[in-house]
Amino acid sequence: MTAKVKREWMGDLPRRALVGVILIVVAVSALVLGGIALWILMSVAGLVMMAEWADLAKVSLAHKRLALFAVSVPLAILSPLAAGPDFFALGLIAGAAFFVAIVARHGRLGWGLAYVGFPAAALLYLRMQPDGLVLAFWTLALVWATDIGAYFSGRLIGGPKLLPRISPSKTWAGLIGGMIAALLTGLGFHHWGGLPMGLALTSPVLAALAQGGDLFESALKRQAGVKDSGTILPGHGGVMDRLDGVVPVAPAVALIILLETLL
């Protein structure tokens, strides 16, 4: 790490940490309350993410509004007062994505609805389970741990880049550090939260998936020629920048739980 980069990192760290703590407090509070509170948080985050996705896709204002109106329908159906996160809601997400892609003649914009809708449904589904608070909390915590572990190990150790053409700051050291942090988090949830050991041991794999989500969003930003997906979160960028790891991890965990239930 060069002296200039180190100064910039240390100077930005307090602001990032403060905003990060606030975001974690809000997320944990919504998880604990569950129900309407969690749905409201997921819906607000989903709408902001949809707007950021549309901006990255560089669509017209009319098509951006179309996407926002379309995604609001499945988000509303996910409410505990409506159908909730069931197969009907999943079909509605897919249908809304297809509708937007056809009407706007923009397949990438349609994919944005899936990018927003399926993770929201997955997290709400996890929270509905008998041990839903532990499952949902672990899902988010392992992503947070991955980000923190990757951030510090990547900055302090450095070394070979992971995929420099997509994300110049990502290193193999960061990936390994994030996976170790996620594993420790999973084992902690097993010891103190009763998370099954089998799920705890999947944490490193899910951490790699979270890093994949981060890289995917980095590719989107690189194509759009921007540093962040938005500016709503000081020191962090947009909502997509904070939830890019949750996007693939939440559906993966929900699928694991669903398969366990069916089998």
| Closest by CA position to 247, among listed 25, 77, 12, 52 | 52
On whether residue 23 sits in a domain, the answer given is no
Q: How many CB atoms lie within 10 A of CB 42?
A: 23
Residue 87 tokens, joined: 């197969």
Residues near 55 by beta carbon (within 8 Å), at least 6 away in sequence? 64, 224, 229, 230
Q: Indicate if 164 and 263 belong to the same structural domain.
A: yes
Residue 18 has pLDDT above 60, yes or no: yes
Task: Give SS3 for 235.
Answer: coil
15: confidence class by pLDDT, cuts 50, 70, 90 = confident
Residues near 159 by beta carbon (within 8 Å), at least 6 away in sequence? 171, 172, 173
- pLDDT per residue over 133-147, tens digit each? 999 999 999 999 999
CA gap 163, 208 in Å, rounded: 13
Q: Indicate if 124 and 139 belong to the same structural domain.
A: no
Range of the domain at 184: 130-263
Burial string for 63-74 (b: 16+ CB within 10 Å, else e) reads: bbebbbebbebb
pLDDT value of residue 8: 46
Last residue of a domain, one of 128, 145, 167: 128
Q: Indicate if 185 and 205 belong to the same structural domain.
A: yes
Q: Indicate if 168 and 205 belong to the same structural domain.
A: yes
Last residue of a domain, one of 98, 128, 158: 128
Q: Estimate to the nearest angstrom the gap between the alpha carbon of 235 and the chain centroid.
A: 17
176: confidence class by pLDDT, cuts 50, 70, 90 = very high
Q: Indicate if 114 and 231 belong to the same structural domain.
A: no
- pLDDT per residue over 96-148, tens digit each? 999 999 999 999 999 999 999 999 999 999 999 999 999 999 999 999 999 99
List, in sequence order, the alpha helices (H) in the chain. 3-33, 35-57, 61-77, 87-104, 107-128, 132-157, 172-193, 197-200, 203-224, 239-243, 246-262
Higher per-residue confidence, 103 vs 155: 103
Q: Indicate if 216 and 195 belong to the same structural domain.
A: yes
Cβ pair 246, 254 in contact under 8 A = no
Q: Indicate if 172 and 118 belong to the same structural domain.
A: no
Residue 29 tokens, joined: 């509070």
Cβ pair 97, 113 in contact under 8 A = yes
Place of tokens 């990018």: 115
Q: Indicate if 111 and 169 belong to the same structural domain.
A: no
CA gap 220, 26 in Å, rounded: 27
Last residue of a domain, one of 62, 94, 128: 128
For the chain, how many structural domains are there in total?
2
First to last CA, the chain: 49
Q: Indicate if 161 and 205 belong to the same structural domain.
A: yes
On whether residue 190 sits in a domain, the answer given is yes
Give the phi and the psi of residue 131 in degrees, each rounded to 5. Answer: -105, 40
CA-atom Rg of the chain in angstroms: 18
State which amino acid sits at residue 10: M
% of the chain beyond a pLDDT of 90: 75
Q: Indicate if 140 and 257 belong to the same structural domain.
A: yes
On whether residue 95 sits in a domain, the answer given is yes
